[in-house]
Structure 1
Amino acid sequence: MASILYLQNSIFGDQGQSSQLARRFIEGYQAAHPGTGVVVRDLITDGVPHLDLERAGALRGFSDTLNDAQRAVLAQSDSLVEELNNADLVVIGLPMYNFSVPSQFKAWFDHIARAGLTFKYTEQGPVGLVADKPVRVFATHGGIHQGQPHETSTQFVKTILAFIGLTDVEFVYAEGLNIGEDVKNQALLRAQARIAAQLQQFDEKTSA
């Protein structure tokens, strides 16, 4: 049975536009692939704290011995990595906040990027250790930002995912959501059409 890992990053929860687009994709995928399970990791309400020295000591090996709190940090990280490894497909709802990704998403990545577990260093550079799998990102922007020099979140997400081995990454954008109702509605319609095309691609791969 296939499994989806869904990373929800909107402060508006299920009502966020990125969440609604991600859910639309997931529901469409499940309709075409009955029995597909979904693991929801709400990084706003059930995320992970931001790094501090004690957490980094546990995750990066800065501490020679671990205290109880650090062992709990390591266990949580192990669980997050297991969720990622067990997934056949990763879905990310990704609103833009102040020209960047939500800090909760960055904190999640800080807890799964572990040398020897999800990546390793070699003489030729870092090598990702996570088995590649499709990642679909549903990015929502209040303004028009895609392709602009200040829109760094797309390249950031692609770079950090590739760092651990995930290179099959595609984005669905909905932009201009705060400009006006007409612009918003047209953007959402385009995103929904893109979702339909994505789902068709998955169906074609399955039937090939």
Structure 2
Amino acid sequence: MTASTTKALVVTSSILGSHGQSLALAEHFKTLAASRGDIQVTERDLVALDLPHLGAEELASWQVEPTARNDEQRQLATRSEALIEELRAHDVLVLAVPLYNLGIPSQLKAWFDRILRAGETFRYTEAGPQGLVEGKRAVILAARGGQYAGTALDSQTPHLKAMLGLIGVTEVDVVFAEGLAMGGDHRERALQEARQAIGGLIERL
């Protein structure tokens, strides 16, 4: 590893295993990154991690000073703190995201619930929230059965950008692979265009 190495955190959230097209896009990113030699990739599989929904006890554990936490609070707070530390340790965040019922997977929401923390990754000011995660960029690899980008039904993209922007990640590139359930030719063309777009992004990292 050299001083110019770019560290990329690839976060996946597909429940379909090897059949997930968002995972296929993530694999393509990883393959191209490996061919560069100066991009170090860490993968975080949120389905395997199996985070529970955020509950009141875990939320409360964040409000207790670390030295004052009991064993249960310490264990609960560690979930969030480890994920935030992992995020901060990387230069590029790559989110491979399927579209489930017009939204993000619940596994990905559970991850965001741990990294969007007031006082840690953003703070409230008189001028509004201020992100505290600086100097990073994000790539969204969006795989969808239908065609939604640029329409009112695409609530996923602005939601992801808003959550990233809350913590200070405002440089966001989106690669869409859409219409993947609309037939063979359309599917293959969409995937090929997405792979080409990923290649272009890799060159700019």
Please, which of 108, 119, 123 is the counterpart of residue 120 of structure 1? Answer: 123
Please, which of 107, 112, 115 is the counterpart of residue 109 of structure 1? Answer: 112
Q: Counterpart of 1:151 in 2: which secondary structure?
A: coil
Match of 1:195 in 2: 198
Rounded to whole Å, the distance in 2 between the matches of 1:49 and 1:20 is 25
Please, which of 1, 7, 28 is the counterpart of residue 32 of structure 2? Answer: 28
What's the TM-score once normalised by structure 1's chain length?
Answer: 0.89
Q: Any conservation in 2 of the 1:60–1:114 contact (CA below 8 Å)?
A: no
Match of 1:205 in 2: none
Determine whether 1:182 maps to 2:185: yes
Q: Provide the identity percentage.
A: 39
Q: Which amino acid aligns with 2:84?
A: V
Match of 2:154 in 1: 151
Where structure 2 has 5 or more consecutive residues not aligned to the other structure, the ranges are none
Match of 1:134 in 2: 137
Please, which of 1, 8, 16 is the counterpart of residue 4 of structure 1? Answer: 8
Q: Counterpart of 1:109 in 2: which secondary structure?
A: helix
Rounded to whole Å, the distance in 2 between the matches of 1:85 and 1:144 is 33
Q: Any conservation in 2 of the 1:93–1:139 contact (CA below 8 Å)?
A: yes
Where structure 1 has 5 or more consecutive residues not aligned to the other structure, the ranges are 203-208
Determine whether 1:79 maps to 2:82: yes
Deviations 1:46-87 (A, max 9, x none): 1421111112212356xxx75432221111211100000000
Deviations 1:115-142 (A, max 9, x none): 1110111111110000131211100111
Moved over 4 A (4+): none
